[in-house]
Structure 1
Amino acid sequence: MRNKDLIKELNVVPPHAQDIHFSTKYSTSYFTQFQACLWKQHKSYWRNVPYNAVRLSFGAAVGIMYGVIFWSLGKRKGTRQDIFNSVGAMSTTIGFLSSQSAATVRPVAMAERTVFYREAGAGMYSALPYAFSQVPSFLCTN
């Protein structure tokens, strides 16, 4: 009973009190939030051993595979079709590697999503610096 009375007493707003007002929603600038998110993402990616093991082993295997397939493709430059074959081989390789890199990072990003919801809900950072920090983090790890 005493606690309930204390709660009722503390919930009454004095007549001369003003509402609390903050000039910004977050205590730091967007750039500082970006730096903090970038640091957090960097640590998150490099501490994930299964992700790095799959990424590095896949890169080595694909490098060997494409090296064997396109062994002497660069030496053939005699005709226009040889140049087209080289460009097509490079674009195919880049497309395949980029789609596989995106597939390997997907589970890490899905696990990070729940962390983002929790931290953004607590007001630690905005979604904009978080999203911008994802891009260099992903590019530096791939």
Structure 2
Amino acid sequence: MVLFVHSANGFCFTDTNTNIHTYIHTYIHTHTHTHTHTHIYTQIHTTNTSLRLSCLCTTSQLSIYLLYITPTIYTISISAAGLVRFFFPFLFFLLCFALFPQCCIYGHRSHHHRYDLLRRHYRCCRHFDYQS
């Protein structure tokens, strides 16, 4: 069983069978030197080496589908440009879907849009696949 909790500052889910606890925190940071940069930082914390691969899909327009393999802390910094808004979510969605075809993909309407890649809003991965 996987316990999944969404809070204001991140996602937390725990596999009660293996007691794996994972916390994912995403925030946007803007700084200026010669010109303004906006970055999306995602930190992934996990506590058990048996967690090999999983994926997380967010509901933001700046969705980035994350794959992680080793139980360490990763920080991913990507400039918030047009590629982030469409190309990267699309690319990582394909990776996620190829690895985890059981992921549930929804549109922003009431009915399911599992294969509709043209929609800008995704809600993905109600199922988290922990491979031991």
TM-score (norm 2): 0.25
TM-score (norm 1): 0.23
Whichever of the two has the greater Rg, that structure is 1
Q: Which has the higher contact order (CA 8 A, sep 6+)?
A: 1
Higher helix share: 1
